[in-house]
Structure 1
């Protein structure tokens, strides 16, 4: 599972306990990724802007969550296309 823009981790708190294996969160703020990593030491937490993360990832995910993310991105179609790949 890949969660882009978890912020405080409200959705992460609901989903990570159900399916912790391979769960990755990506946020542009290290404050948020550090908080989530402290709460869930086994989680993959990365600090990137979404455009950079999508171009550097070769891993495939069964589920991708983008809650309240697209309105903050200059080219949301590009992000969605990257997620599709």
Structure 2
């Protein structure tokens, strides 16, 4: 099995939470789904537990605003749906 196929096998479902938005975005964007699954694979294999990935910034007509995808297993950085 290739590394890409192994990444595609990582489930994005957690029965404890409502993951509808994550699943919807992942189904609409193979790029996003691959980024999430690659991040999970990295966390599982690296010993690291927090991985922010910079996606872009806005600086015109507003304070500098950044967008990140954060995948974390660090207990200080996890949030609840509420």
**Quick check: TM above 0.5?**
no
Larger proportion of strand: 2
